[in-house]
Amino acid sequence: MLEKIMINNYGPFKTFEMTFHNKISIIVGENGSGKTHLLGAIISVFYGKQSIKVIDNFGIDEMDISLKFKTPDSQVEVVRTFSNGKLYLENYTRNFSDKRITQLNNINISEYEPIIISNMNSSLEINLDLVKKHLFQMNLEIDIMHFFLELINRVEKSKVKNAYRIYSGGERYILEFLGQLSFALEDKRKLILIDEFGAWLDSYSFSNLLSLLDSISTEIQIVIVMSSYQVQLSQMKKKSIKQLHVTNQSERNKFGFRYDFLDFILYSKKQPLGSPLTQKKIVQYVMNSKVEFEENIDMEFKEVKGINSIDSILSTVDQYVVSYLNVRRNITGKILWGISDDRTVVGVRLDYSERDKLRRDVVNKLSQISPPVPTEVYSIFLVEVYDDDMKIIANKYIVEVTVQPYFSEYFFSTGKDEVYIKTDGGKRKLKTQEIQVELKSRGNK
């Protein structure tokens, strides 16, 4: 098991260490505290240069990350260092019998290599037979098992050519999660890292997935980054779960985690197990088809017109996020760019550089909301669009922005000090007098 991490001069950490639970560790912390960088540090030990972002001519030219693993009869330490302009990987083992430290250059660290489950692991194929095999081996309560099997049976009936058609972001998240989890179990991995766990899920689905993780935590150690909102849903009552806090880290270092590395990692250097006959894509959006759900106060469709997709999205994204925050409903709001008002999938064209720029610019735009909103309140997903033959259309996406409930005694406003509130027909900008009336109304409740 992964016992401890020690970090020097990486991401927002000058010096940092954390001891993990032997089953499930849930990492929580304030906005910008370094939660995802903590997962990135673990990843960087295994993947080295390709996963490390380097800022030239900045900061101290040294970095080290140490991971300590506990085995039945020894302790293994794996250290990734940067010194004298070079990146090094060192491995040590300490036998419990004589406490002697020996360097083992030939140690196979792939034995400890993690599976990484992230919202960026999209367009992966799934083997539902493999998923069901491992579900049946889990000690799940009857109603929880029924929840997952009912979803799988429904999806199996929706097979089109080489794909499973699904119709909601929640279904997509659960299926992709189950697919990656079943691969980890089949490959007998010892460690799973999960970023932004459960961002699309309602409380019932979230609770069922957490129970599933609890059932396998005797076989696989799990480290999860989770928003404070989702922590409230988890209730944290299970003995197998330990909540670990990352306090705010303000250091800026030369070395850090390359977030776009998650775009390439997929199944930790391996493709999912199974033959082409058993593996199927998970497809939610097909070009020119109609989506099953409809617009309402919690779901907004936006068609991007014009040649600059990024500017079109940026022009209204903060207005919609503010409008959802101000409606004070305990339900996740969603804005989907690339779907027309008549529910037709038209997509948004974004090449790789534009996708990276869109993510950065949206975060920067939303950081101007007042009062400030933690980044875990909102999520940005880019979901592939397929053609009628169930093949990915290059550079065509649905841009999904989700907004979790987050309450304040004040109204939220955009960077231009504009206040919006969500309505069934879209959003409405409030005038000064309307804001005063609404504030008075809320004060009387």
Query: What is d(CA 402, CA 225) in angstroms, rounded to the nearest whole number?
Result: 17
Q: Are 229 and 96 part of one and the same domain?
A: yes
pLDDT score, position 4:
93
Bridge partners of residue 347, in order along the sequence: none
Query: What is d(CA 134, CA 111) in angstroms, rounded to the nearest whole number?
Result: 21
Q: Are 48 and 32 part of one and the same domain?
A: yes
Backbone angles phi, psi at 87, to 5 degrees: -100, 130
Q: Are 18 and 131 part of one and the same domain?
A: yes
C-beta separation of 346 from 339 below 8 A: yes
Segment 240-265, tens digit of pLDDT: 677 777 765 566 788 888 776 765 55
Q: Are 328 and 232 part of one and the same domain?
A: no
Give the chain's domain count.
2
> What confidence tier does 29 reach under pLDDT thresholds 50, 70, 90?
confident
120 compared with 57, residue with greater pLDDT? 57
Three-class secondary structure assignment of 163-208: EEECCCHHHHHHHHHHHHHHHHHHCCCCEEEECCCCCCCCHHHHHH
pLDDT score, position 228:
64
pLDDT score, position 273:
47
Q: Are 248 and 352 part of one and the same domain?
A: no
Q: Is 60 exceeded by the pLDDT of residue 445?
A: no
Q: Are 230 and 293 part of one and the same domain?
A: no
pTM of the model: 0.77
- The last residue of a domain, from among 252, 283, 314: 283
Q: Is 90 exceeded by the pLDDT of residue 398?
A: yes
Q: Is 60 exceeded by the pLDDT of residue 123?
A: no
Q: Are 90 and 188 part of one and the same domain?
A: yes
Q: Is 90 exceeded by the pLDDT of residue 78?
A: no
- The last residue of a domain, from among 283, 313, 337: 283
Segment 318-335, tens digit of pLDDT: 999 999 999 877 778 899
C-beta separation of 42 from 67 below 8 A: yes
pLDDT score, position 105:
46
**Tally of CA atoms within 13 A in the half-sphere of 267 that contains its CB:** 21
> What confidence tier does 32 reach under pLDDT thresholds 50, 70, 90?
low
The predicted model gives 81-90 an average pLDDT of 74
Q: Are 214 and 335 part of one and the same domain?
A: no
C-beta separation of 112 from 181 below 8 A: no
Buried residues in 75-112 as b, exposed as e (16+ CB within 10 A): bbbbbbbbeeeeeeeebbbeeeeeeeeeeeeeeeeeeb
Query: What is d(CA 281, CA 217) in angstroms, rounded to the nearest whole number?
Result: 28
Q: Are 297 and 417 part of one and the same domain?
A: yes
Q: Characterize the bridge pairing of strands 299-302 and 333-337.
A: parallel
> What confidence tier does 101 reach under pLDDT thresholds 50, 70, 90?
very low
Q: Is 70 exceeded by the pLDDT of residue 442?
A: no
Q: Which sign, positive or negative, has the C-alpha torsion 7, 9, 11, 14?
A: positive
94 compared with 312, residue with greater pLDDT? 312
Helix and strand numbers (H, E) in the chain are: 11, 25
pLDDT score, position 91:
67
pLDDT score, position 266:
46
Q: Is 80 exceeded by the pLDDT of residue 172?
A: yes
C-beta separation of 5 from 58 below 8 A: no
Query: What is d(CA 355, CA 264) in angstroms, rounded to the nearest whole number?
Result: 14
The predicted model gives 303-315 an average pLDDT of 92
Cα dist. 360→40, 110, 176, 233, 304 in Å? Answer: 18, 33, 25, 28, 19
Average pLDDT, the chain: 82
Closest CA to 399 of 309, 290, 305: 309
Domain CATH code at residue 337: 3.30.950
Query: What is d(CA 387, CA 100) in angstroms, rounded to the nearest whole number?
Result: 60
Select the highest-mean-pLDDT range: 43-47, 160-164, 235-239, 386-390.
386-390
Buried residues in 218-231 as b, exposed as e (16+ CB within 10 A): eebbbbbbbbebbb
Axis-axis angle for helices 203-216, 169-186 (nearest 10): 0
Please, what is the end-to-end C-alpha distance for the chain in angstroms?
50
> What confidence tier does 212 reach under pLDDT thresholds 50, 70, 90?
very high
Query: What is d(CA 145, CA 265) in angstroms, rounded to the nearest whole number?
Result: 30
Q: Is 50 exceeded by the pLDDT of residue 97?
A: no
Q: Are 98 and 245 part of one and the same domain?
A: yes
> What confidence tier does 444 reach under pLDDT thresholds 50, 70, 90?
low
Q: Is 80 exceeded by the pLDDT of residue 370?
A: yes
* Least confidently predicted of 197-211, 268-282, 290-304, 422-436: 268-282
C-beta separation of 127 from 278 below 8 A: yes
Closest CA to 260 of 443, 121, 130: 121
Buried residues in 361-392 as b, exposed as e (16+ CB within 10 A): bbeebbeebeeebbbbbbbbbbbbbbeeebee
Query: What is d(CA 197, CA 230) in angstroms, rounded to the nearest whole number?
Result: 8
Backbone angles phi, psi at 249, to 5 degrees: -115, 120
Q: Would you tell me how many other CB atoms lie within 10 Å of the CB of residue 410?
A: 12
Host domain of residue 53: 2-283
Q: Are 108 and 254 part of one and the same domain?
A: yes
pLDDT score, position 360:
87
Select the highest-mean-pLDDT range: 20-24, 52-56, 85-89, 186-190.
20-24
pLDDT score, position 104:
43
- The last residue of a domain, from among 266, 283, 300: 283
Segment 6-27, tens digit of pLDDT: 999 988 888 999 999 999 998 8
Bridge partners of residue 237, in order along the sequence: none
pLDDT score, position 350:
94
C-beta separation of 354 from 394 below 8 A: no
* Least confidently predicted of 1-5, 233-237, 301-305: 233-237
Q: Are 304 and 423 part of one and the same domain?
A: yes
Domain CATH code at residue 43: 3.40.50.300
